[in-house]
């Protein structure tokens, strides 16, 4: 099934009204605080009255459920293979933040038939109607799966720390993204967050350094959303499986997450184009099918 047929399926379903904002959080390497970023931004969005769902697409690690202290009964592939509804696969976390375990089902989506594809797109369209913001927490590093999520997303949040390896790996990830055959510069906007910095100045210097290299060698640029300072309260919150934004709202990290969430919700950011979750996954499936055809 090619992408044109997938889009015809979407258009044929009159109930689909893609409205949810899909924000994909990623990093060039593991251990830089990507999942903490996803969770705490979700909590801050909830405090602002947004309906939020996190898709845990970090296969094999299940960081979101561990940090929330909740074990999901179902995952995304149960929509197709077990006949579950979208509400069945959403596990409730703190403050009403829902999360969905991607499981291993996403990896096999390129092999879905027309009926199965229609089923999953219809359910994901329902998710569009149920939520305001969907945060996709990807795996770390450069892989085909991560790149597929990034090229399908209108907004990519790149989490980077001052560690030299984090900077170089972030650049490598961006280079792979910008050179991807289906990357659209006009659609996918990369926004960097400096994590675990000593102060605001260090965060700005980190962004300026990486952005200068990206501008010079990749002929494009990023947007800077701000920084999250090094904070022992974050580690303590992870150990207790409670997001720091809930456990200690006054912590310097919590306040930083709040500022980033507020910046993401300003008028300019809100007016950016949205595909919605159904079209997001259709784009991923199209990417996989296109790659499969090229390999034949």
Q: Which two tokens stand for residue 252?
A: 């310097």
pLDDT digits (tens, 9 = 90+) for 151-160: 888 899 999 9
Q: What CATH fold (topology level) applies to the domain 18-266?
A: Rossmann fold (3.40.50)
Binned at pLDDT 50, 70 and 90, residue 128 comes out as confident
| pLDDT for the residue numbered 285 | 65
pLDDT of residue 102: 73
Q: pLDDT higher for 285 or 84?
A: 84
Crossing angle (nearest 10°) for helices 252-264 and 34-47? 70
Pick 162 or 102 by higher pLDDT. Answer: 162
Tens-digit pLDDT profile for residues 3-46: 445 445 444 544 445 578 999 999 999 889 999 999 999 999 99
Provide the pLDDT confidence category of residue 51 given band limits of 50, 70 and 90: very high
Residue 213 has pLDDT above 90, yes or no: yes
Percent share of the chain, pLDDT over 90: 49
Question: What does the domain layout of the chain look like in residue ranges?
Answer: 18-266
* Pairwise pLDDT comparison (252 vs 77), residue with the higher score: 252
What is the model's pLDDT at position 70? 81
pLDDT score of 296: 46
User: Whole-number mean pLDDT of the chain?
Assistant: 83
122: confidence class by pLDDT, cuts 50, 70, 90? confident
Tens-digit pLDDT profile for residues 176-212: 999 998 888 888 899 999 999 999 999 999 999 999 9
């Amino acid at each position: 099934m090619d992408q044109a047929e997938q889009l015809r399926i979407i258009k044929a379903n009159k109930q689909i009204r893609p409205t949810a904002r899909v924000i994909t959080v990623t990093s060039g390497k593991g251990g830089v605080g990507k999942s903490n970023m996803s969770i705490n931004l979700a909590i801050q969005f909830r405090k602002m009255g947004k309906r939020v769902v996190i898709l845990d697409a970090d296969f094999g690690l299940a960081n979101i459920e561990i940090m929330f202290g909740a074990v999901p009964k179902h995952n995304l592939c149960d929509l197709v293979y077990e006949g579950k509804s979208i509400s069945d696969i959403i596990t409730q976390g703190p403050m009403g933040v829902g999360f969905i375990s991607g499981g291993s089902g996403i990896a096999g989506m390129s092999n879905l038939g027309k009926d199965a594809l229609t089923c999953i797109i219809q359910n994901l369209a329902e998710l569009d109607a149920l939520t305001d913001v969907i945060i996709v927490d990807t795996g770390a590093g450069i892989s085909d799966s991560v790149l597929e999520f990034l090229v399908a997303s209108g907004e990519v949040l790149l989490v980077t720390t001052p560690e030299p390896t984090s900077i170089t790996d972030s650049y490598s990830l961006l280079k792979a993204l910008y050179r991807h055959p289906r990357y659209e510069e006009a659609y996918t906007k990369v926004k960097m967050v400096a994590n675990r910095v000593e102060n605001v100045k260090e965060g700005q210097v980190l962004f300026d350094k990486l952005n200068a290299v990206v501008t010079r060698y990749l002929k494009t640029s990023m947007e800077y959303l701000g920084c999250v300072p090094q904070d022992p309260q974050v580690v303590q919150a992870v150990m207790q499986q409670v997001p720091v934004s809930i456990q200690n709202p006054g912590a310097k990290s919590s306040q930083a997450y709040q500022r980033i969430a507020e910046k993401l919700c300003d008028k300019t950011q809100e007016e950016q184009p949205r595909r919605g979750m159904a079209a997001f996954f259709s784009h991923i499936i199209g990417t996989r099918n296109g790659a499969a055809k090229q390999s034949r």
